[in-house]
């Protein structure tokens, strides 16, 4: 089953969800701002995404700029920042068959769902 870590206030996330809905595949919406991923879930997502924690951070978010940008953080500290402030997590994240992508590009989502 497909999972989408979704923020309904984000246009890219809404577009990705609409694309998934049109694919006629079973999917689950994870409202990650409400159901915040745990530290371990984020570590798993990072492996599935093949990304370093900093690559999953929305570095232009006010919370990041004001609280973290000027600090030197290790990977665990970056993951903890996302657990404590899920708005920092890049979105949408689409998971299928043990792999994941950041679904901002409809063409990438299309090839990922095939």
Beta sheet of 93-96, edge-to-edge order = 27-30, 2-5, 93-96, 99-102
Give the residue numbers annotated as catalytic, written as ranges. Answer: 10
Euclidean distance between CA atoms 11 and 68, whole angstroms: 26
């Amino acid at each position: 089953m497909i999972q989408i870590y979704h923020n309904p206030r984000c246009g890219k996330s809404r577009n990705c969800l609409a694309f998934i809905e049109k694919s006629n595949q079973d999917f689950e919406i994870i409202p990650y701002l409400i159901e915040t991923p745990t530290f371990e879930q984020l570590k798993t997502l990072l492996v599935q995404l093949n990304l370093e924690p900093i690559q999953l951070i929305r570095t232009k978010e006010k919370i990041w700029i004001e609280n973290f940008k000027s600090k030197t953080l290790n990977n665990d500290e970056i993951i903890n920042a996302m657990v404590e402030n899920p708005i920092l997590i890049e979105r949408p994240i689409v998971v299928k068959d043990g792999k994941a992508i950041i679904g901002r590009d409809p063409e990438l989502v299309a090839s990922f769902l095939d």
